[in-house]
Amino acid sequence: MSKNGELKEDLSNYDPREYDDPSVTTDIIIVTIIKNDLKVLLIKRKHHPFKGCRAVPGGFLDVGREESLDDTAARELVEETNIIASVPEGKSAIYIEQLKTYGEPDRDPRKRVITVAYYALVPFSAFDKQVIEAGDDAEEGSAKWLFLKSPPKNMAFDHKKILKDTLERIRGKVSYTDIAFNLLPEKFTWTELQNVYEIILGKRLLRSNFRRKIKSMYILKELKETKKGKGVGRPSVLLKYVRMKKL
């Protein structure tokens, strides 16, 4: 089609109407922790390719919006979950990061589709429980929380691969970044924090070592309050994440 020479070297003598452009979608993998498990929000497809299969929520890029890919992903997150997107004092906004772009020629049977995938880490407490059902009860309508580590077999497109990449990314980054804190509410206990790490890494950790490690990497603020209501055992102090230490 294109006698290269020119084309490959330079994007310059390009006429938009000359080419058959692919479609572009941005998908958002929304991850949270529910009852000691990583969960991902998946929809059930209502229409023809992969009808009835589970899929990652997303949408075609609307060029008319003049919106960056990052903003598109963030907007889809809000639209999908009715999440409280406002920024509560001190705490940073929802964590969203670009994961990877998927573009195999046959991943969508209708036409060529390039998907820019993002993932978000959200504390479960941030969701409006009325909109998204948390339980394991079967639901027909829209979105549902499913296990990130063992997604359903009948996933649409290459979305199983996308979930696998997401899990790998989270596991890879949890040890040298502060992403884990994004899965917790503003105030949390040591045990809750340790749970997040254990769930992501899939193994048990020793309290003492875990705390030393965390303290060496991050600055935390110990609050005066304690968490009660659990009944038995010594009450734990509540913490706030402040920031990562340098270097």
Partner DNA sequence: TCAAAAGTGTTTGACCTACACCCATGG
Partner DNA sequence: CCATGGGTGTAGGTCAAACACTTTTGA
Binding mask 53-92 for a second copy (x = CB under 8 A): --x-xxxxxxxxxxxxx------x--xx------------
Q: Which is nearer to DNA, 1 or 232 (CB)?
A: 232
Whether the CB-CB separation of 125 and 12 falls below 8 Å is answered with no
225 binds, among a second copy, DNA, none (CB under 5 to 8 A by kind): none
Instruction: Show the DSSP H helices in the chain as ranges.
Output: 6-9, 69-81, 159-174, 190-201, 207-217
Question: Is 233 buried (19+), middle (13-18) or exposed (0-12) by CB count in 10 A?
Answer: exposed
Q: State both tokens at 152.
A: 């359903």
228 binds, among a second copy, DNA, none (CB under 5 to 8 A by kind): DNA
Question: Which one of a second copy, DNA, none interacts with residue 177, CB within 5 to 8 A by kind?
Answer: none
Alpha carbon distance 72, 45 (integer Å)? 21
142 DSSP assignment: S
Is 140 one of the catalytic residues?
Answer: yes
- Asked if 213 is part of the footprint of DNA (rule: CB under 7 A), the reply reads yes
DSSP string spanning 169-205?
HHHHHHTTSSGGGGGS-SEE-HHHHHHHHHHHHTS--
Counting contacts by CB under 8 A, is residue 8 touching a second copy? Answer: yes
Examine residue 185 and tell whether it contacts DNA (CB under 7 A).
Answer: no
Pairing of strands 54-55, 37-44: antiparallel
Q: Which residue among 66, 140, 192, 222 is the active-site one?
A: 140
**Closer CB to a second copy, residue 13 or residue 208?**
13
Joined together, the tokens standing for residue 48 give: 């023809």
Pairing of strands 37-44, 144-147: antiparallel
233 near DNA, rule: CB under 7 A:
yes
**Contact call for residue 231 and DNA (CB under 7 A):** yes
Choose the binding region for DNA from 25-33, 83-91, 149-157, 187-195 (rule: CB under 7 A): 187-195
Residues forming contacts to DNA in the complex (CB under 7 A) are: 189-191, 206-209, 211-213, 216, 226, 228, 230-237
Residues forming contacts to a second copy in the complex (CB under 8 A) are: 1-2, 4, 7-14, 16, 19-25, 43, 45-49, 51, 55, 57-69, 76, 79-80, 98, 100-101, 103-106, 108, 110-114, 116, 142-143
